[in-house]
C-alpha cells in the first residue's frame, strides 16, 4: 500500500492517477477539513480504487494507523513546515515505516537567502538524518494544470487583460517542469533502490529565457498581448507598497528579487538513475492551454 500525504493538493491528483494506472494500492491521508470528491473522480477515471484515512500531521497519533498499513509514503506537504515533517518522521518510526519519497524544491539551490530556503534546508537535513530509506525530489517551478498558481494564472490574466507585466529585463533563464513529469518521477523512484538515500533535481527539458517563454505562450495562445517591462528596483518598491496594504498579496518584494536570477537545474542524475526524460515547455504549455479551454 502506498500512502499519499498531501493528495488533495496541486500535485496530488496526477500522482494518484499515475499510481492507480500502474495498479498500485493507494490510500490518501485526508484532513477532516478537506474534500475527497476530486480524488474520487480521479480514481473513477482510471477505474482504480482508492482508500481514505482521516488524520493530520499536526497530531502524530492520528497518522499511526495509516502509516502501519503502508509500505511506502509519498510526502507532498510543503517542507517549509519542519514541525509537520518532524511529526511525520517520529510517527513513521513508531509505525515501522521504512521508505518515503519527499517533495522538496529547487528553492534550496537559489543563491539568495530567504526564510523559505532556510526552512526547506532544515527539513531536508531532518530527512537525511531520519534513518528512513528516503528519496528527495526537488522540482523546479511546476506548471500544467488548472490548479497551478504559475502558468494557468498567467494565461488567465493574459486572456482577460491582454497585457502582462515582467519585472526586470526578462533575460534570466527559467526551466519550469510539467506536472505529469513530476508525477512520473515520483512513481519511478518508489521501488527503485538506486534512488534510496538520494536527492534529485528535476526540471523541464531545456532552460529558456523568460522573454522566450513569453513568446512561446504568445504563439501557443494565438493571442496578441502587450508585454510591459518594469525595472526590478521600481517593481520591488511598488510591490512592497501593495504587499503592505493587501491582506493576501499575490506577490512579495522577495519574489521580485528572485525573478532576475537564472534558475537552471541539471536533471542528469535523475535521467541516469530512473530514466527521467521531461517534456519540453512548448509541448507542456500546449497541453495546459488545451486543458484550460
Ligand atoms: N507548486 C509548485 O510549483 C511546486 C514547485 C516545487 C516544489 N513543490 C513542492 O511540491 C509539494 C506539493 O506541492 P503542491 O503545490 O501540491 O502543494 P499544495 O497544493 O499546497 O498542497 C499541500 C497539501 O498538503 C496537505 N497538508 C497541509 N497541511 C497538512 C497537515 N497538517 N496534515 C496533512 N496534510 C496537510 C494539504 O491538505 P489540505 O487539502 O487538507 O489543506 C494539501 O493536500 C510541496 O512540498 C511543494 O513545496 C511545489
Q: What is the pLDDT of residues 55-108, one digit of tens each?
A: 999 999 999 999 999 999 999 999 999 999 999 999 999 999 999 999 999 999
What are phi and psi for residue 74, nearest 5 degrees?
-115, 115
Mutation test residue for ligand 1: of 4, 67, 78, the one with most atoms within 8 Å of CB? 78
Decide: 183 and 7 in contact? Cβ < 8 Å.
Answer: no
Long-range contacts of 156-161 (CB under 8 A, 24+ apart): 156/292, 158/217, 158/221, 158/223, 158/225, 159/221, 159/223, 161/225
The pTM for the full model equals 0.95
Report the pLDDT value the prediction gives residue 150, as an integer from 0 to 100.
86
Q: How confident is the model at residue 223 (pLDDT cuts 50, 70, 90)?
A: confident
Report the pLDDT value the prediction gives residue 256, as an integer from 0 to 100.
87
Ligand 1 centroid to 9 CA: how many Å? Answer: 5
CA gap 293, 287 in Å, rounded: 10
Determine the average pLDDT of the residues in 8-31: 97
Domains of the chain (ranges; CATH) run 2-139 (3.40.50.720), 143-176+205-263+279-293 (3.90.25)
Q: Could you read off the pLDDT of 74-86 as tens digits, one per residue? A: 999 999 999 999 9
Question: Is the predicted pLDDT of residue 147 greater than 90, yes or no?
Answer: no
Q: Could you read off the pLDDT of 112-125 as tens digits, one per residue? A: 999 999 999 999 99
Question: Is the predicted pLDDT of residue 140 greater than 90, yes or no?
Answer: yes
Ligand 1 centroid to 167 CA: how many Å? Answer: 27
CA gap 99, 196 in Å, rounded: 8
For ligand 1, atom 23: residue with the closest CA: 6
Decide: 211 and 281 in contact? Cβ < 8 Å.
Answer: no
| DSSP three-state, residue 64 | helix
Q: What is the CB < 6 Å shell around ligand 1?
A: 5-12, 29, 31, 33-34, 56-58, 76-79, 84, 103, 105, 139, 141-142, 150
Question: Is the predicted pLDDT of residue 286 greater than 90, yes or no?
Answer: yes
Question: Is the predicted pLDDT of residue 146 greater than 90, yes or no?
Answer: no
Question: Is the predicted pLDDT of residue 251 greater than 90, yes or no?
Answer: no
152 forms beta bridges with none
Report the pLDDT value the prediction gives residue 293, as an integer from 0 to 100.
86
For ligand 1, atom 47: residue with the closest CA: 78
Ligand 1 centroid to 163 CA: how many Å? Answer: 30
CA gap 116, 80 in Å, rounded: 6
Amino acid at each position: 500500500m502506498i500512502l499519499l500525504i498531501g493528495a488533495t493538493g496541486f500535485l496530488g491528483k496526477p500522482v494518484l492517477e499515475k499510481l492507480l494506472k500502474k495498479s498500485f494500492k493507494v490510500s490518501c491521508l485526508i484532513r477532516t477539513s478537506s474534500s475527497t470528491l476530486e480524488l474520487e473522480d480521479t480514481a473513477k477515471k482510471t477505474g482504480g480504487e482508492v482508500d481514505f484515512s482521516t488524520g493530520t500531521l499536526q497530531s502524530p497519533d492520528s497518522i499511526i494507523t495509516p502509516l502501519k498499513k503502508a509500505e511506502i509514503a509519498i510526502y507532498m506537504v510543503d517542507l517549509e513546515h519542519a514541525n509537520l515533517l518532524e511529526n511525520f518522521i517520529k510517527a513513521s518510526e513508531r509505525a515501522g515505516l521504512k521508505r518515503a519519497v519527499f517533495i522538496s524544491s529547487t528553492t534550496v539551490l537559489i543563491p539568495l537567502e530567504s526564510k523559505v530556503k532556510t526552512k526547506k534546508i532544515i527539513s531536508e537535513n531532518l530527512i537525511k538524518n531520519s534513518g528512513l530509506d528516503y528519496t528527495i525530489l526537488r522540482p523546479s517551478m511546476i506548471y500544467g494544470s488548472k490548479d497551478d498558481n504559475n502558468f494557468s494564472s498567467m494565461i488567465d490574466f493574459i486572456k482577460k487583460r491582454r497585457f502582462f507585466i515582467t519585472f526586470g529585463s526578462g533575460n534570466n533563464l527559467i526551466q519550469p517542469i510539467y506536472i505529469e513529469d513530476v508525477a512520473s518521477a515520483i512513481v519511478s523512484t518508489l521501488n527503485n533502490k538506486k534512488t534510496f538515500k538520494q536527492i534529485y533535481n528535476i526540471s523541464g527539458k531545456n532552460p529558456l529565457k523568460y522573454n522566450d517563454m513569453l513568446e512561446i505562450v504568445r504563439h501557443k495562445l494565438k493571442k496578441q498581448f502587450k508585454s510591459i517591462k518594469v525595472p526590478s528596483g521600481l517593481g520591488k518598491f511598488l510591490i512592497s507598497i501593495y504587499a503592505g496594504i493587501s491582506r493576501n498579496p499575490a506577490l512579495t518584494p522577495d519574489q521580485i528579487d528572485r525573478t532576475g536570477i537564472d534558475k537552471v537545474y541539471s536533471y542528469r542524475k535523475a535521467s541516469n538513475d530512473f530514466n527521467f526524460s521531461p517534456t519540453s515547455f512548448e509541448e507542456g504549455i500546449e497541453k495546459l492551454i488545451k486543458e484550460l479551454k
